[in-house]
Amino acid sequence: MPDTAPTFATVRHDWTKTEIAALFDLPFMELVYRAATVHRQHFDPSEVQLSQLLSIKTGGCAENCGYCSQSAHHDTGLKASKLMPVDEVLSAAKAARDGGAQRFCMGAAWRDLKDRDVPALSQMIAEVKALGLETCATLGMITPDQARALKDAGLDYYNHNLDTSPEYYESVVTTRTYQERLDTLEAVREVGMKTCCGGIVGMGETREDRVSFLHQLATLPAHPDSLPINNLVPVSNTPLGELSKIKGGVTPVEFVRTVAVARILCPKSMVRLSAGRNEMSEELQALCFLAGANSIFVGNQLLTTPNPERGSDAFLLQSLGLRPMAAS
């Protein structure tokens, strides 16, 4: 008889890869049951946080991430833009709030944040925060001083994904090291700001890589407060977009397994069902919620990739008996 699910609700930072691999190997129903039980011990399973993401500076990124349409290394036809004016960002944030979003995320296609941009970003963050929204930003690598300035402006979360396992990492990007990603997360934690850190599945990695990726997250000094799980959206003329045409992505069941294991390993994290939802069936999304996902991005676009329309999301949540999470 397998161990009961409640034993998995304890917050641990000493998970081994062997233990995590064993979770992946559980019968699907047992794994989802355990994850659902852990979820209920820390969250209301009927609530889903609604987030909205805005690209505040698009394209022209110096990184060579193999999945990204915004990389200057790939000919995807995307035109680079400058940092959006504060008033335009504020207008988008108001529309997001009025549309039901509780969280507003701002993303800039930079390798690293430059000090010259900090004042404008600080004003942007402060004004979005004043709308009553939870704030998040992803701006590339940042220093401890920059992290302090953003936190002082009212930034709640900083997003910096690990993307994949250390072993598969160089198949995804070579212009930034894995350690540099960990260093940015440490800079964010040092100033007391919450971390948003996850990755992407379906990039040609193996299950062993997914085990190693989640092991990295589960053994951080503090679990990510927000843990986005993205399903690769293949972009033509990107290395991983082209690879996906040959190898395909993960199966729906394997994707749910990844969500479920993430929930068990990081029981208090907000597990965010992020990129790739536009290609997911309602049934697959429902299984992800059952397995512990409790946040989605709303709005028609995620940075540069399509996202389900707000009306279809509202219908999905209503049909599942889910409701937007109350503002914290």
Q: How far apart are CA 148 and CA 214, in angstroms?
A: 28
Give the tens place of pLDDT for each residue, 43-54: 999 999 988 889
* Angle (CA) 225 299 195, round 5°: 15
| Predicted local distance difference test score (pLDDT) of residue 260 | 98
Sign of the C-alpha dihedral computed for residues 276, 196, 68 and 307 taken in this order: positive
Question: Is residue 68 part of an annotated ligand binding site?
Answer: yes
105 is in an annotated binding site: yes
Confidence of residue 306 (pLDDT cuts 50, 70, 90): low
Residue found by looking up tokens 């691999």 in the block: 21
Residue-wise pLDDT tens digits, 110-155 = 888 999 999 999 999 999 999 999 999 999 999 999 999 999 999 9
Please tell me the distance from the alpha carbon of residue 229 to that of residue 294, in angstroms, as a whole number: 11
Residue ranges of alpha helices (H) inside 117-250 are 118-129, 144-153, 178-190, 207-218, 239-247
Banded model confidence at residue 321, pLDDT cuts 50, 70, 90: very high
Considering the chain, what is the average pLDDT of its residues?
A: 88
| Residue 239 pLDDT class (50, 70, 90 cuts) | confident
Cβ atoms 185, 215 nearer than 8 A: no
Per-residue pLDDT of 55-89, as tens digits, reads 998 877 888 787 887 776 777 777 777 888 999 99
Q: How confident is the model at residue 308 (pLDDT cuts 50, 70, 90)?
A: low
Percentage of residues of the chain with pLDDT beyond 70: 92
User: Among candidates 118, 111, 133, which has minimal Cα distance to 181?
Assistant: 111
Q: Is position 197 annotated in a ligand binding site?
A: no
When pLDDT is averaged across residues 299-305 and rounded to a whole number, the result is 53
What is the rounded CA–CA span in Å between residue 144 and residue 146? 5
Q: What is the mean pLDDT of residues 285-293?
A: 95
CA angle 228–224–128, rounded 5-degree value: 70
User: Do the Cβ atoms of 287 and 320 come closer than 8 Å?
Assistant: no
Structural domains of the chain, ranges and CATH numbers in brackets: 17-317 (3.20.20.70)
Residue with tokens 């969250």: 43
Q: Catalytic amino acids?
A: 61, 65, 68, 105, 136, 196, 272
